[in-house]
Amino acid sequence: MYQTNMYEGMLAETVMMHGHQGDLINAYFARPLGPGPFPSMVLVHHAPGWDEWYREATRKFAHHGYATISPNLYAREGHGTPEDVAAKARAGGGVADDQAVGDLAGAMQFLRSQPYSNGKVGIFGTCSGGRHAYLTACQTPGFDALVDCWGGRVVMAKEDLTPKQPVAPLDYTQALSCPILGIFGEEDRSPTPEQVAQQEAALKQHGKNYEFHMYPKAGHGFFYYDRPNYRQEQTVDGWKKVFAFLEKYLA
């Protein structure tokens, strides 16, 4: 934990990295200054895009000692303001699951190749990013911890499957190879508490290491301080649980 007499410095910048099928995409990268070794995190932005909240979150993780990268999953949509680009992605039904998983696997490789890596990499995502994080940690070996914050559509009915989302992430649960922390709100409608219970049951059935927290009086996206669903008390506790979990598995 940071003490007031400690030196602190970080480098935060946009970088280029190789994603799905070797495509070059841009990413936001923040790391503590110094030789390390540092644990690393991949941050998966939410449906509203690669926005300011995710830049702030990337620096927050770096402040807590993690070399952290947040790839722009909408890089192939063209460039503009984060909202305009996210609106274009929304109109197209979002990004394809295999493309997102490829980009996030590329981000993990980027982190593992850094000379200051301690060899441990976690993945964190909110909203659609929680779903993508879950999918990636199930489909890609090499992650040591997963944080799924209110990832919707992990549990999917057959009629909800699309060419871009052909398989429900829940169906890959058996392949999950790292511990998972789940943060949810009981007033959320995607995922509903019933869907979270299904996800938890699947993790239990397959003998996975999981820790789920369902917060009362909280709905979807309750960490976002700039949205009406923000819940201060639950957010403070949620962040504590996130960093305690990562300390346990990545330090």
Partner 1 sequence: MCTMIVEQVAIEGSGKGTSGWFPVRQANVSYDHPFDAPLEHALNIDFVNEAQGPGARVAVELSEASARTLVETILAVLNRAEAGGHLETQISAKLR
3-state secondary structure of 123: strand
Binding partner 1 (rule: CB under 8 A), the pick from 8, 11, 56, 78 is 78
Minimum CB separation from partner 1 for residue 83, in Å? 5
**Residues from 35 through 64 that contact partner 1 (CB under 8 A):** 47-48
165 makes contact with partner 1 (CB under 8 A): yes
Classify residue 90 as exposed, middle or buried by CB count within 10 Å of its CB (0-12, 13-18, 19+): middle
Span of 16-24, 114-122, 160-168, 243-251 interacting with partner 1 by CB under 8 A: 160-168
Q: Which one, 127 or 168, has the nearer CB to partner 1?
A: 127
10-18, 35-43, 88-96, 172-180 -> range binding partner 1 (CB under 8 A): 88-96
- Report the alpha-carbon distance of residue 217 to residue 200 in Å, rounded: 20
Q: Do 40 and 67 contact (CB within 8 A), yes or no? A: yes
How many chain residues are in contact with partner 1, going by CB under 8 A?
32
Q: How far is the CB of 223 from partner 1 (least distance, A)?
A: 14
Q: 45 by DSSP, 3-state: which? A: coil
Verify binding: residue 217, partner 1, rule CB under 8 A: no
The answer to whether residues 78 and 88 touch, using CB atoms and an 8 Å cutoff, is yes
- The DSSP-derived string for 210-249 is EEEEEETT--TTTT-TTSTT--HHHHHHHHHHHHHHHHHH
Answer for the pair 111, 69: CB distance below 8 angstroms, yes or no.
yes
Among 60, 63, 88, 208, binds partner 1 (CB under 8 A): 88
By CB under 8 A, is residue 190 in contact with partner 1?
A: yes
Binding site for partner 1 (CB under 8 A): 47-48, 77-81, 83-88, 90-91, 93-94, 127-128, 152-153, 160, 162, 165, 189-190, 219-221, 227-229
